[in-house]
Structure 1
Amino acid sequence: MTKVDRRILKTQEALKKAVIELMSEKKFDDITIQELSDKANVSRGTIYLHYLDKYDLLDKLIETHINELREMCKAAADMDFIDGSLIWTEYFDQNYTFFSMMLTSKGAPYFRNRFLDFLVEEFQDEVDITKGINEGLNKDVVVRFVASAYVGVVEYWFTNDRPFPHHVLAEQLGTLLERICN
Structure 2
Amino acid sequence: MKKEEKLDRRQIRTKKLIRQALLELSEEKGLSQVTVRDLAERAEINRGTFYLHYRDVADLVDQLKSEIFEGILPFASEINPLEVKSHAERGEPYPVLLKVLEYFLAQADFLRVMLSANGDLQLPLQIKEFMSERMLQKFEQYMPEKSEDAIPWDYFVAYIASANIGVLTHWMASENDLSTREVALMMTRIITQGPLETVLGGVKR
Report TM bin, short chain: 0.7 to 0.9
Partner deviation per Cα, 1:132-176 (whole Å, 9 max, x = no partner): 9x9622121111111111101111212233232121001111233
Q: How many angstroms apart in 2 are the aligned matches of 1:161 and 1:110?
A: 21
Give the aligned partner of residue 130 of structure 1: 145
The answer on 1:177 being equivalent to 2:180 is no
Q: How many angstroms apart in 2 are the aligned matches of 1:11 and 1:141?
A: 44
Q: How many angstroms apart in 1 are the aligned matches of 2:155 and 2:101?
A: 25
Specify whether residues 72 and 39 from structure 1 end up closer, same or farther in structure 2 by C-alpha distance, changes over 3 A only. Answer: farther
| Alpha-carbon shift at residue 30 of structure 1 (Å) | 1.0
- Aligned-pair RMSD on alpha carbons? 2.6
Give the aligned partner of residue 157 of structure 1: 171
Gaps of 5+ in 2: 85-93, 195-205
1:8 to 6, 11, 14: 11
State TM-score, norm by structure 1. Answer: 0.85
State TM-score, norm by structure 2. Answer: 0.76
The answer on 1:39 being equivalent to 2:42 is yes
User: How many pairs align?
Assistant: 177
Q: How many angstroms apart in 2 are the aligned matches of 1:177 and 1:55?
A: 34
Give the aligned partner of residue 103 of structure 1: 115
1:23 to 22, 26, 37: 26
Specify whether residues 119 and 135 from structure 1 end up closer, same or farther in structure 2 by C-alpha distance, changes over 3 A only. Answer: farther
Q: Which runs of 4+ in 1 moved over 3 A?
A: 76-81
Partner deviation per Cα, 1:76-111 (whole Å, 9 max, x = no partner): 346944101111111222221111112123321011
- Structure-to-structure mapping, 1:20-99, within 5 angstroms: 20-74=23-77, 76-77=78-79, 80-81=83-84, 82-99=94-111
Gaps of 5+ in 1: none
**Range with bigger deviation, 21-30 or 171-180:** 171-180
**Range with bigger deviation, 57-66 or 120-129:** 120-129
The answer on 1:115 being equivalent to 2:118 is no
Specify whether residues 137 and 6 from structure 1 end up closer, same or farther in structure 2 by C-alpha distance, changes over 3 A only. Answer: same
Partner deviation per Cα, 1:101-124 (whole Å, 9 max, x = no partner): 121233210111111111111211
Q: Secondary structure at the match of 2:158?
A: helix
> Conserved in 1, the CA contact under 8 Å of 2:75 and 2:99?
yes
Identity of matched residues, %? 25
Q: Secondary structure at the match of 2:119?
A: coil
